Chains A and B, each alone.
Chain A
Amino acid sequence: MSQSQIKIARQVQNETLLDVRDLRVEYLSPKGPVRAVDGVSFSIAPGEVLGLAGESGSGKSTIAHALLRVLRPPALITGGEVRFKGKDVLSLAEHELEAFRWQDISMVFQSAMNSLNPVMKVGDQIADVLVKHKKISKKEAWQRAGELFDIVNIDKKRLDAYPHELSGGMRQRAVIAIALALNPPMMIMDEPTTALDVVVQKEIMQQIEELKEKMGFSILFITHDMSLMVEFSNRIAIMYAGEIVEMAPAREIFENPLHPYTKGLISSFPPLVGPKHKMTGIPGSPPNMAEPPTGCRFHPRCTMCQPVEKVVNPTLQEVLPGHWLAYHEGMPGV
């Protein structure tokens, strides 16, 4: 809020579109609060694609929902700061949120079938957004919807279709069209292609890439597929059990992963070319977030664990220029 706080703000680049600091989200449960997101900090520059990778339950989607302030009880934002173009998102009032959502940040969800209304024509669903936010007539809105369909490569005639009449790929394109409707400077994409086949996935990811080049929006890209993430993102943040354990440029994280979890995650995706070698994945299973392990949360599954990590949770530090790591003194391989 105060000027001094903004000064302290860690800024990767001079210009920051979104700055998240020390975000904490808890789910309240009868057995006590479950901390799903625990002190996460990152920032996104204009036009940048930041990838958020991690397994299910690591808190990726919770962050996305927290940024848009669409979390519902029992989830609660218990701390931290989110600034979008200097605006404090967490203190926005309900009527301010209406303008903030979709005009500043829009979102594409994983399952297009569930984010479209099955009993409304797709065209109406796009027009709705425009009528509500731009205060234009319904006729103008339909015309603009047609233009949006052009942008995402769907025949304008399909505006009259109901969601079930469209194929999976087309539905996801329609959802992207809705997200583009107000030309927002940032988009959150939560597993946008996970439910789709690879060929359709490639088509849609390329289209998003082209649109991004043309319109210059930033993307917070969430997926568990490391291969897709490395191809598509500029920077990648790796999450484990509600914390970011490593953050670096995409190539860097793929070629020079430092955290044992990142290494394991990359070795969980067998390559398509090159010699065949044994891949190990990661032993054990993801932690129960109601009772997270002490110290470093990854230590029960870590093959390079040191005694200190069972007690002290390492903090995220910049170990190489632009390469952040949850780091302990004397960590092997660093």
Chain B
Amino acid sequence: MTQSVADNGQQASSPKAGEVVLEVRNLTKHFPAGTFFKPKVVKALNDVSFTIRRGQVVALVGESGSGKSTTARLISRLMPPTSGEIILRGKNVLKTEPGRPSLSYRKEVQMIFQDPFGSLNPVHTIEHHIERPLHIHKMLKNRYPLERVHELLSTVGLTPPEEAARKYPYQMSGGQRQRVAIARALAVEPEIILADEPISMLDVSIRMGVLNLMEQLKEERGIGFLYITHDLASARYIGDQTMVMYTGYVVEAAESRELMEQPAHPYTQMLMGAVPNPEGGLIKKKAEARGEIPSLTDLPPGCPFATRCPKVMDICKKSMPGKEYLSKDGDHWVRCHLYGPGEEPATAKARAAVKTPAAEPDKGN
């Protein structure tokens, strides 16, 4: 499979982070809900598209219920999407292997779960957990399994590896277990690791250690990460690219620093204003923060954020805006009527002129 197929034009001009490994196009997931007589649909994920390049960390940020974990579950193919495409190295995997994901897909795309207490089997040793994928995926190539297990444990900083391998999960702390989960994912030498809130259940003092390990793997092995989190600060710390999700839509995406320094979408601005930030001094400014995420069963027509948006306009209640590109290379885009109705990538024009969103508040009324 050639790699160039995966590039559909818009990112071809930015060679900064290597070739595209995984591409997701218009991924949508609707769950049936309600009763037989009153059927309802939970629109968990709507029209999500993005790419992950070799050695790139894409952070997915959002409140609970925004569809972050659904995205990871669809890409890991723990469940099938309602519609959309998943393209791994130019191969449309939902077409070529529509049923269970193939062994090779599972080898390329690995997942780390939020809860390191639930993702390891309490009756098996750490050695067993890491050795199993080595056998299943035939990764050993005439090597002793234990040797490789020790090597992997050293990679994730569990030293001495001989001792760690003999332990049971209950003998380890949360941070150590999460490292075991990472070692297990690494065992099959994946291209992509989907990390679903990997640090949110860990003690605060050891979180940075796990993030730094991810960063190191990205740099040394060129692994691409989808880093799912609700914490904007950690997304900025490790994410090259950050996407903000709201009620199943990606509402804004940009290079992480640009997103945090010049948030364009009112929701991103609201999130940024809500994060406790002692660096900014103790100014207790009256927050614009208000309201809660609407129910996903009966989303209002139009933009789902309209009910909470401080800059809401009439059109927001009628139609959902498309992607509006704010930078020339197409890296920063937003789904918001403040910046225009949006258009599909094929017709995307560079709109570098609209780079200072805060300068047009009059548009809001």
Residues of A within 8 A of B (CB): 55-57, 167-170, 197-203, 206, 209, 224-228, 230-232, 250-251, 254, 264-265, 267-274, 276, 278-283, 285-286, 301
The answer to whether A286 touches B207 (Cβ under 8 A) is no
Give me the 7 closest cross-chain CB pairs, A-B, nearest first.
Answer: A281-B208, A230-B278, A202-B274, A270-B237, A282-B205, A197-B63, A227-B276
Q: Once the chains bind, are A279 and B277 in contact (CB under 8 Å)? A: no
Question: Do residues A281 and B275 form an inter-chain contact, with CB atoms below 8 A?
Answer: no
CA distance A279 to B209 in the complex (A): 9
- Of chain B, the residue at the smallest CB distance from A230 is B278
Give which listed residue, A199, A267, A271, A276, contacts B270 with CB less than 8 A. Answer: A199
B274, A198: Cβ atoms closer than 8 Å: yes
- How many chain-B residues does the 8 Å CB contact rule pick out? 42
Question: Smallest CB-CB separation from B290: which chain A residue?
Answer: A203
B63 touching A228, Cβ below 8 Å:
no
User: Quick one: given A200-B292, A203-B290, A273-B280, are A281 and B207 in contact (CB under 8 Å)?
Assistant: yes
* B208 contacts A227, C-beta separation under 8 Å: no
A231 neighbours in B (Cβ, 8 Å)? 276-278, 282
Q: Which residues of B contact A301 (CB under 8 A)?
A: 205
- Contact assessment for A285 and B274 in the assembled complex, using a CB-CB cutoff below 8 Å: no
- In the complex, chain B residues whose CB is within 8 Å of the CB of A227: 233, 275-278
In the complex, what residues of B have CB within 8 A of residue A200's CB? 289, 292
- Contact check, B63 vs A286: say whether CB atoms are below 8 A apart: no
Main SS class of interface, B: helix
B287–A202 touching, CB < 8 Å: yes
B287 lies within 8 A of A273 (CB): no
A202–B285 Cα distance when bound, in Å, is 11
Nearest neighbor of B286 in chain A, beta-carbon distance: A206
Rounded to whole angstroms, the CA-CA distance of A209 and B276 in the bound complex is 14
> Which chain A positions have C-beta within 8 A of B271?
198-199
Which of B208, B237, B282, B293 interacts with A197 by CB under 8 Å?
B293
CB distance from A112 to the nearest CB of B (A): 14
Question: Within the assembled complex, what's the spacing in Å between the Cα atoms of A250 and B276?
Answer: 14
Contact (Cβ within 8 A) B275 A271: no
Q: Is B232 an interface residue (CB 8 A)?
A: yes
Q: Using Cβ atoms and an 8 Å threshold, which residues of chain A touch B289?
A: 199-200, 202-203, 206
B73 at the interface (CB under 8 A from A): no
Q: Which residues from B are CB-within-8-Å of A226?
A: 204, 278
Bound CA–CA A230/B271 (angstroms): 19
Task: Choose among B176, B208, B286 the residue that contacts A279 (Cβ–Cβ < 8 A).
Answer: B208
Residue of A nearest to B270 (CB): A199
Alpha-carbon gap, A286 to B174, bound state (A): 10
Q: A285-B173, A286-B173 are in contact. Are A251 and B257 (CB under 8 A)?
A: no
Q: Contact check: which of B209, B270, B276, B280 meets A281 at CB < 8 Å?
A: B209
Task: Identify which of A224, A250, A280, A283 contacts B204 (C-beta below 8 A).
Answer: A224
CB distance from B324 to the nearest CB of A (A): 23
> Which of A225, A264, A276 is in CB contact (< 8 Å) with B205?
A264
When C-beta atoms are compared, the residue in chain A nearest to B277 turns out to be A272
The 0/1 profile, CB within 8 Å of A marked 1, for residues 226-260 of chain B is: 00001011101100000000000000000001001
Asked whether, in the complex, the Cβ of B203 is within 8 Å of the Cβ of A55, the reply is yes
> A266: nearest residue on chain B (CB-CB)?
B278
